[in-house]
Amino acid sequence: MKPIQLKEGVYWVGEIDWDLRNFHGYSTQRGSTYNTYLVIDEKITLVDGVRPHLFDKMMQRLSALIDPAKIHYVVVNHVEMDHSGSLPLIMDVAKNATILTSPNGKKGLLAHYKRNDWNIQVVNMDEEVNIGKRTIKFFLAQMVHWPDNMAGYLVEEKILFSNDAFGQHIASPERFDDELYLGVVLEEAKKYYANIVLPYSMQVKKTLEKLSPLPIDIIAPSHGIVWRSHVKNIINEYHKWASNQTRNKCLIIYDTMWKSTEKIALTLQNAFNHSGIGTKMINLRYNHISDIVTDVLEARFICVGSPTLNSNMLPTVSAFLTYLKGLSPKNRVGLAFGSYGWGGQSVRHVEDALKECGFDLLESIKFQYIPDEAQLKETYEKVKQEIGKK
């Protein structure tokens, strides 16, 4: 369990979670890491923690460098338990340590751990704490991802400890962005943004503005790979994602019972393709919702289809729409479609959900039983015309 040096006196001492495959509903096929950082200065400072079951491994890395009892500050950038879960164990070892956290962080820690005996020092926006030869400047980043989030900037080293921002769920022996395929790191950063950060894009924009004057050599997030060679690249991607910039791309997301809804999906694919818009066919039976919203991050057109089952949508479709509504992407064009035997309520339910997302809607498409060639041809022409107006 070796620590990894970021700069002289600054180390990654976190732990790798090789087995993680689900992070509150987000499929994490590459696993993850919980990144803890150690700054060795006159006042030894630990930044963030790991999940409790990985505490011993983190301590092995830490103990290779220092006596953990000598930790002076423990920075809690975020109370969510993937980072603070091991805090009680850390504080049992570093008995004299002071916790540095945001005002909401203090409230969150007391509510989670009920430890009035901990010495907690609240830090505010732009506050600086001297740790010896170095200084940490704090930036409150409320709602990126919880109300307590903050980031710490190690001024002399130009290292930003960004916590959830700029993270990715990747378990790997590599620690830096120039040691892995960049495409993989960016794809996982994009998936992370879509699934965790997207609802808070306004706050991300404010945080990016606040950070923009800082010279940054290294972005050290709390999950995944550390950015040192592609810092500008990931900041640019964050600007794009936070602005809800989309491409002329269409996702056709559906489930089907007896292939009638699928026939409509294929007709939509033709209509979009012949309008010069690339489409991706996404059958909800074979795709995870967290992968689908990763595509939603860049797609302007979102078509969602379901047959009617017991006066409702298929459960796969309603699960996706619930997830989508929560993530609240903006500036999208939606289309609801589906088939039915009798009743036919599914399309209205899909349409209502897309309206609740705030999407600009194309006219919905609905067929009883099996649409024939003439009906599909008419649909193709109608959808092409509507696309032309957008």
Active site residues: 24, 78, 80, 82, 145, 164, 192, 223
Both tokens of residue 140?
A: 């409150």
Instruction: Tell me how far, at minimum, the Cβ of 303 lies from ligand FEO, in Å.
Output: 31
Which of 30, 78, 191, 263 touches ligand FEO by CB under 6 A? 78
Residue 80 in contact with ligand FEO, rule: CB under 6 A: yes
Which of 164, 177, 295, 351 touches ligand FEO by CB under 6 A? 164
Q: Which one, 223 or 349, has the nearer CB to ligand FEO?
A: 223
Residue 238 CA to residue 232 CA, distance in Å, equals: 10
Q: Which one, 78 or 300, has the nearer CB to ligand FEO?
A: 78
Instruction: Tell me how far, at minimum, the Cβ of 81 lies from ligand FEO, in Å.
Output: 8
Residue 51 in contact with ligand FEO, rule: CB under 6 A: no
Stretch of 54-62, 78-86, 288-296, 360-368 lying at the interface with ligand FEO (CB under 6 A): 78-86
Which residue in 150, 163, 176, 171 sits closest to 7, CA to CA?
176
Question: Tokens 């996702």 label which residue?
Answer: 251
Asked if residues 282 and 229 have their Cβ atoms less than 8 Å apart, the reply is no
Residue 296 is given by DSSP the state H
Residue 269 is given by DSSP the state H
Residue 53 is given by DSSP the state G
Query: How many residues comprise the chain?
Result: 390
Q: Which one, 106 or 145, has the nearer CB to ligand FEO?
A: 145
Asked if residues 68 and 30 have their Cβ atoms less than 8 Å apart, the reply is no
Nearest residue to the partner ligand FEO, using Cβ: 80
Instruction: Tell me how far, at minimum, the Cβ of 18 lies from ligand FEO, in Å.
Output: 17
Q: Which one, 80 or 188, has the nearer CB to ligand FEO?
A: 80
Residue 183 CA to residue 170 CA, distance in Å, equals: 13
Which residue in 273, 265, 294, 283 sits closest to 168, CA to CA?
294
Residue 94 CA to residue 91 CA, distance in Å, equals: 5
Q: Which one, 135 or 172, has the nearer CB to ligand FEO?
A: 172
**CB under 8 Å to 326, separation ≥6 — which residues?**
199
Instruction: Tell me how far, at minimum, the Cβ of 34 lies from ligand FEO, in Å.
Output: 8
User: In angstroms, what CA-CA distances link 60 with 53, 56, 156, 175?
Assistant: 13, 6, 27, 18
Residue 223 in contact with ligand FEO, rule: CB under 6 A: yes
Residue count, binding to ligand FEO (CB under 6 A) = 9
Residue 312 is given by DSSP the state B
Which of 36, 86, 222, 267 touches ligand FEO by CB under 6 A? 222
* Cβ count near 82 (within 10 Å): 21
Stretch of 79-87, 178-186, 265-273, 315-323 lying at the interface with ligand FEO (CB under 6 A): 79-87
**CB under 8 Å to 282, separation ≥6 — which residues?**
251, 252, 253, 254, 292, 295
Instruction: Tell me how far, at minimum, the Cβ of 230 lies from ligand FEO, in Å.
Output: 21
Residue 82 in contact with ligand FEO, rule: CB under 6 A: yes
Instruction: Tell me how far, at minimum, the Cβ of 141 lies from ligand FEO, in Å.
Output: 11
Which of 30, 61, 134, 145 touches ligand FEO by CB under 6 A? 145
Q: Which one, 223 or 263, has the nearer CB to ligand FEO?
A: 223
**CB under 8 Å to 308, separation ≥6 — which residues?**
338, 339, 340, 341, 343, 344, 345, 346, 347
Asked if residues 62 and 34 have their Cβ atoms less than 8 Å apart, the reply is no
Q: Which one, 227 or 359, has the nearer CB to ligand FEO?
A: 227
Q: Which one, 101 or 222, has the nearer CB to ligand FEO?
A: 222
Residue 175 in contact with ligand FEO, rule: CB under 6 A: no
Instruction: Tell me how far, at minimum, the Cβ of 328 lies from ligand FEO, in Å.
Output: 17
Stretch of 77-85, 125-133, 224-232, 234-242 lying at the interface with ligand FEO (CB under 6 A): 77-85
Instruction: Tell me whether residue 19 is exposed, middle or buried, using C-beta atoms within 10 angstroms of its C-beta: 0 to 12, 13 to 18, 19 or more.
Output: exposed
Site for ligand FEO, rule CB under 6 A? 78, 80, 82-83, 145-146, 164, 222-223
